[in-house]
Amino acid sequence: MSNSTTELNDLLRRAFDVLDGAHKARISTTDLAGTVYAEIDPYGTSPEMVRWAAMLMLRKMAGAMCRLRSLLDSAIAESGNSFYFHLQPRYPVKDDAEMEYVLRECLTYAERMANIERLRHEAATKRLHADALQSETDALVRARKLVAEVLA
C-alpha cells in the first residue's frame, strides 16, 4: 500500500470516527469522501475532472473502510446477550446510488428487511458454493485424483 493510500485511509478513518463518535445515525460514503477531499484540496483549486475522479475513488475507499469496520465491530462486540452479540452496530443502506452506514437502532423497518434479505441471499449463495465445492471434492476422491485424509 502506498504512503498516499495509507494517508487517505487514515483521513477516512478519522472522518468516520468523528461522525461515529457524535452518534450520527447515518454516515454516507459521499460525506466521508467530501470531508477528506476538503482536507486534501481545501481551496478547491483542482480541475473539475480531477475533483470528480478523486471523489469517486474516495467514495470507493470509504465504502471499503465502512464494510471492513462493520465486520470488525461485529467481531469484537461484547454483550451478555448472545442474540445481540452477532449484530453489527451499523448496517449498509443503499439510497439511489448513495451508500450509507446506519446505526442499527436508527434503521427503518424497510431498511432492516432489506438487510435481512441481503444477508439471507449471501448465506444461500455461500451454501451453494460450499455444496459445489463438496461435490467437486467428492468427485475427485471417487476418481482417485484426490486422497481423502482423516481429519482429527
pLDDT tens digits, one per residue of 24-73 = 999 999 999 999 999 999 999 999 999 999 999 999 999 999 888 877 76
pLDDT for 82 beyond 90: no
Which of 105, 90, 118, 86 shows the shortest CA–CA distance to 28? 90
pLDDT for 131 beyond 80: yes
What is the spatial distance between Cα 21 and Cα 89, in angstroms, rounded to a whole number? Answer: 13
Weakest mean pLDDT among 46-55, 58-67, 89-98, 125-134: 89-98
What's the pLDDT score for residue 77?
55
Helix intervals (H) in the chain: 3-21, 29-40, 48-76, 82-85, 109-142
Q: Enter the C-alpha cell of residue 136.
A: 467437486
The pTM of this model reads 0.71
Q: Enter the C-alpha cell of residue 38.
A: 476538503
Average pLDDT (93-115) is 92
Higher pLDDT, 86 or 41: 41
Weakest mean pLDDT among 88-102, 110-124, 125-139: 88-102
pLDDT for 19 beyond 60: yes
pLDDT for 144 beyond 90: yes
- How many residues does this entry show for the chain? 152
What's the pLDDT score for residue 67?
84
Answer for the pair 104, 84: CB distance below 8 angstroms, yes or no. Answer: no
pLDDT for 78 beyond 50: no
